[in-house]
Every structure is written in C-alpha cells, then in structure tokens.
Amino acid sequence: MSADEYKQKGNTALQQGDKQGAIDNYTKGLEIDPTNYLLLTNRAAVYLQLQKFNEAYEDSTKAVTAKPDFSKSLLRQGQALFGLNRLEESIAALEKAAKIEPGNAAITKQLQDVKNKLDDEESKANPLANMFNGPDFWSKITTNPELRPYLSEPDFMQKVQEIQKNPSKMNEHMKDQRIMKLFMSLLNMQGFGDPTPSPSEPKKTETKTETKKQAEPEPEEINVDEVEVSANEKEAAEEKEKGNQLFKQKNFDGALVHYNKAAELDPKNLTYRLNRAAVLIEQSKYDDAVKECQEAVDYGRSNRADFKLIGRALERMGNAYMRKKDYANAVKSYADSLTEEKSREVIKKKQQAEQLLSKQREEEYKSPEKAEEARLRGNELFKQQKFPEAMKEYNEAIKRDATKANLYFNRCSCYLKLGEPNYALKDAEKCLEIDPKYVKAYARKAQCHTMRKEYHKSIDCYNTGLELDADNAEMKDGLLRVKSIVQQKSGTRDEDRIRIASQDPEIAMIMNDPVMKQVLTDFSENPREAQRHLKDPGVLAKIEKLIAAGIIQTG
C-alpha cells in the first residue's frame, strides 16, 4: 500500500472513533514516506485528542519543517505547545498560522485562548496586581484609621486607580508617603510582616505618649536576636562581594571560601547557594553544582522563598547539566524554571538544549554496523517483493548511517517499485550527491524521469551514465527504450507532457531563446532555412530535446 492509502485508512479509523487504529495507519504511511506533512499533521491531531502533547509537538514540528506554509501543521504545533504550557512558543506558532490563513476561525480562537491563559498566569505571578485588586481592598482602607482619611483626597484616589489598572505604576507612585504607607499596610495584612494593630489595640508607644505627654520617652527595648541577624546579614553581604571579586579574577577556590562564609552567616538567603553553584560549574564539578541547586530549590520551597530565586536555582541547575552534556535533564530543569518565572533567556536556553538533545539522540542512534544489517534485511525483503517491509528497513539503515550512497540507491529502487517516482528521484539525487560516479544511480534516476514523462531528462541521465561506463548494458537498453517511447509519442500532442515540460527551467530557457524562436518559426514558414539550422549541432540538440519533451510533434 502507498502512504496515501494508509492515510485514508487512518482517516476512516478516526471517523469510527478508533484513535489507536488511526495512529497505527498513519505510522505505517510515515514508514513509507517519513516527511509526509499530511500524515504527520493527522497523527499530531490524534495525539492531541489523547493528550499526548510531547508526541503531538514532535509530529507537528516535523510537519512544519516539511512544509512551513501549511497553516494546519502550525495550528497543531501551537495546540501541542499549549498543552505543554509553553504559552509564548504556542503564541508564536499560532501567529505564523494566522498570517498564512488570516480568516481561519479555529486558529483565531486557539490564539485568543492561549493569550488569555498567559494573561491569567502573568496576573497570578504578579502579587501587586492581586494586592490592589482584591475584593476587600477598599474595606481594608476604610477600616484602617490611618488610611481612611486618604479616601477623601482626589490625587491619592487617582494614583491608587492607576496602580490597579497598571501595577507597573507602583514604582512611580511609591515616592508618595501615602502610597508607601498603604503598600506596607497591605503587606502586613497578607502576612508579609507584623500585623498592623487593629483600632481596638492601639500601639503601646501611642498610649504612653497620650498619658505622659510631658515625660521623657522611655528607652526603647531592643531585641538582641534582631540586631545579631542584621549584623550577620551585613557581614554576609560583604563576604559575597569579596567572593564576587575573586570570581571575576577566576580565583574560584577563594571565591568559594567567601560564599561558604556568607551562607553560614545568612543561611536563608538563596543567593549565596546559587553563587556556590556557579563556582562549582566553573570547576567542572557539575554533579556537586546540581546538588547545590536542588538543595536551594528544596529549601526555598519549604520556606516560601521568592519564586524568582527558585527559578534562578533551576536555571543554574540546567546550566550545570548543559556543561555536562546531559541535555535531557537540562531541558527538564529549564522547563521547571519557567514554571517559577517566565524568562526569555531561559526559553532560549531551553530551545537550545532541545536542539542539542535531538542531535545527541541522532548521533547516539548512528551505527554503520546496524545500518548494514538493516540494509541486508531490506534486500532480502525486496527480493521477496515485500516492498513496504523493505522500505522500513531501508529507512532504518539511513537513520543509522546517512553517509552511504548505496542506502539511498536501495531505497530509490524500493520507491520505484511502490510507484513513487518523486521520492525515488530525491533518493537518486542524494545518492549521486554522495557518489557522482555511481553509474546505477543514473539508471534509476532515468527511470524516475520516465515515470514522470520527462523523457528528455531521462535521455540525459542515460547519456551521462554511458559517459562513465560506455559498455553498460542497462544504460544502453534504457536509452533505446526511452527513444522508442519518444518516437511513438512524437506524432501526438500530449498536454500533460507539455505542461510538465513547460515547468522545466531548461526547456523554458530554450523556448525563450530568441534564436530558437526564429528557428521554430522557420520550421513552420521557411523549410529551406530550417534545413540550414539543422546543420548546427547546438540547434539540433535543442530541437531533439524539445521533441523528447513533447513540445514539438513530428508526425
């Protein structure tokens, strides 16, 4: 069966609700024609229904590579990326699809869905947006005696409303002490600091001020632990700076000493752990760096650390895996980092890791020995006329070793048996690209052109082969056979042949040559002059090519 027939069987199975049957048939079709973008797109659609988003992404990406202007492949790619929560990449794919087919309702709807989800995630990731837009936001101000008077001040209200609409305005308005007080109060209410005393529980200092207005203020009670922590934090920051200077000088051992000291002084600060990981990466201690980053992630999550720091720890873990050439874990680490914080830099790193992983797997799969084993299995199946099965083995052989001309020659022969001259022609050309003196490949290429009714090209192939091997019987027989076909068809006008020939740049160049235009005119209007033209070997060769192409009929 051909790839198209398997596609039809897959479509029928899908219409009957047999998703696995559809996948099996599409897969069989792809074994015959691995770059068939329709089969890849259809199989991706089924994988999407089964929520196998990685497989759907792989198929749709191959389909896009095979035919970049097919909007449905880009739609499937965007849907797969959406399922993998790679929202920005999904938007990029869907926008490409929308440019190709602007009026497609499915693409438009999917694009809007992804953008909505991205907006929702960005909103959730922005605590300021939620802080100023909560359902009880205004009641918090109303019940706070220090904030309540601000409600009657128009400029305060205007600034609050601007922040609600655009949280990035926060930095601009933070210079206003009223906004600063509101911000600190909201932080305290959400558990980020000591709770603001309620109206029924006035501060002790305020009470003392009211009852002892004329008295000297009592000495403030100092919490010793807080002073020690503050001093430790300051000293830790100093140690970090010393470490940074040594790191820049590539004195990694010295930098590590200071980062260790900083981490001891301020163990809650993940930055010092990340700095240690950076040193370990430079020292090629990748496993230790990964361990350091994982401990930072675990500690950060258990202590509600800033999600950005956790994201940085995961990114650095990915960097360690990249240096180690463990691209699979690098991809995973970068993906985990992106769930903590969206970063264009990390997205680029993840894409690079995915590309390197793909190449690594291809390289690991290569094996000249296994390629030869697959080729021999294919040859046996070919002899038994089991051409689809032979095709599968030849595909495997080329995956294992794409540098051997004979592998493409064998697959070309198999394609011809399956009635696929277009794919056979590509393999014949690849074979000759690797080995331009592969005589048999010229015979197969000639057969491809014959099946495509490009008899003039077929003749050229046989002639080239005979230049390399003048006694080659297959070449001689093939050339005579094609010339016989041309002779038989020379008296009839074949519109299909003419259409095919007109698309050939060489034929088009001959037809547009002013000299040849005059020659053709003379053939119809001035036979004597036409006979003179035939004495010119160059003109004669072009005339013969036009006859072989079906442009000129001699009967």
Structural domains of the chain ordered from first start: 3-125 (1.25.40.10), 151-193 (no CATH), 231-365 (1.25.40.10), 366-489 (1.25.40.10), 493-555 (1.10.260.100)
Q: Looking at residues 222-235, what average pLDDT do you find?
A: 52
What does the pLDDT look like over 264-277, one tens digit per residue? 988 888 889 999 99
Give the pLDDT score at 297: 92
Q: Looking at residues 431-460, what average pLDDT do you find?
A: 93
Q: Binning pLDDT at 50, 70 and 90, where does residue 31 land?
A: very high
Q: What percent of the chain has pLDDT over 90?
A: 47
Give the pLDDT score at 26: 93
Q: Binning pLDDT at 50, 70 and 90, where does residue 129 land?
A: low
pLDDT tops 60 at residue 448: yes
- Nearest-angstrom CA–CA distance, 81 and 196: 45
pLDDT tops 60 at residue 332: yes
**CA 219 to chain CA centroid, nearest Å:** 65
- Which residues, including other chains, have CB under 8 Å from residue 404's CB and lie 6 or more apart? 368, 371, 397, 434
Q: Binning pLDDT at 50, 70 and 90, where does residue 123 land?
A: low
Torsion sign across C-alpha atoms 48, 52, 54, 58: negative
pLDDT tops 70 at residue 407: yes
Q: Looking at residues 169-192, what average pLDDT do you find?
A: 73
Give the pLDDT score at 155: 87
pLDDT tops 50 at residue 370: yes
**Cα angle, residue 442 at apex, residues 439 and 445 outer, rounded to 5°:** 155
Give the pLDDT score at 211: 34
What does the pLDDT look like over 503-555, one tens digit per residue? 778 777 877 778 777 777 766 677 777 677 666 787 777 777 777 776 666 55
Give the pLDDT score at 554: 58
pLDDT tops 90 at residue 328: yes
CB neighbours (10 Å) of residue 8?
Answer: 13
pLDDT tops 80 at residue 290: yes
Q: Binning pLDDT at 50, 70 and 90, where does residue 466 land?
A: very high
- Nearest-angstrom CA–CA distance, 528 and 524: 10
What does the pLDDT look like over 371-399, one tens digit per residue? 999 999 999 999 999 999 999 999 999 99
| Global model pTM greater than 0.85 | no
**56-80 burial string, b = 16+ CB within 10 Å, else e?**
bbbbbbbbbebbeebbbbbbbbbbb
- Nearest-angstrom CA–CA distance, 360 and 112: 36
- pLDDT top residue among 203 and 56: 56
**Cα angle, residue 425 at apex, residues 419 and 427 outer, rounded to 5°:** 105
pLDDT tops 80 at residue 223: no
Q: Looking at residues 15-37, what average pLDDT do you find?
A: 90
- Nearest-angstrom CA–CA distance, 462 and 472: 10
Tell me which of 42-46, 207-211, 227-231, 528-532 is least confident.
207-211
pLDDT tops 70 at residue 16: yes
Q: Binning pLDDT at 50, 70 and 90, where does residue 491 land?
A: low
Q: Do 420 and 427 meet the contact criterion of CB atoms below 8 Å apart?
A: no
- pLDDT top residue among 536 and 438: 438
- Looking at residue 100, what DSSP letter applies? H
Q: Do 441 and 409 meet the contact criterion of CB atoms below 8 Å apart?
A: yes
288 burial (CB, 10 Å; 0-12 / 13-18 / 19+) is middle
Q: What is the mean pLDDT of the chain?
A: 83
pLDDT tops 50 at residue 320: yes
Give the pLDDT score at 454: 86
- Nearest-angstrom CA–CA distance, 429 and 439: 12
Q: Looking at residues 78-92, what average pLDDT do you find?
A: 92
Give the pLDDT score at 423: 95
**492-526 burial string, b = 16+ CB within 10 Å, else e?**
eeeeebeebbeebeebeebbeeeebeebbebbeee
Q: Looking at residues 214-237, what average pLDDT do you find?
A: 48
Measure Cα distances from 18 to 46, 50, 431 in Å: 10, 12, 40
Q: Binning pLDDT at 50, 70 and 90, where does residue 368 land?
A: very high
pLDDT tops 80 at residue 48: yes
Give the pLDDT score at 414: 96
Per-residue HEC secondary structure of 296-353 comes to: HHHHHHHCCCCHHHHHHHHHHHHHHHHHCCCHHHHHHHHHHHHHHCCCHHHHHHHHHH
**CA 536 to chain CA centroid, nearest Å:** 56
Q: Binning pLDDT at 50, 70 and 90, where does residue 29 land?
A: very high
- Which residues, including other chains, have CB under 8 Å from residue 22's CB and lie 6 or more apart? 10, 11, 13, 14, 42, 43, 46
Give the pLDDT score at 552: 62
CB neighbours (10 Å) of residue 192?
Answer: 12
Q: Looking at residues 151-168, what average pLDDT do you find?
A: 79
pLDDT tops 80 at residue 224: no
Q: What percent of the chain has pLDDT over 70?
A: 83
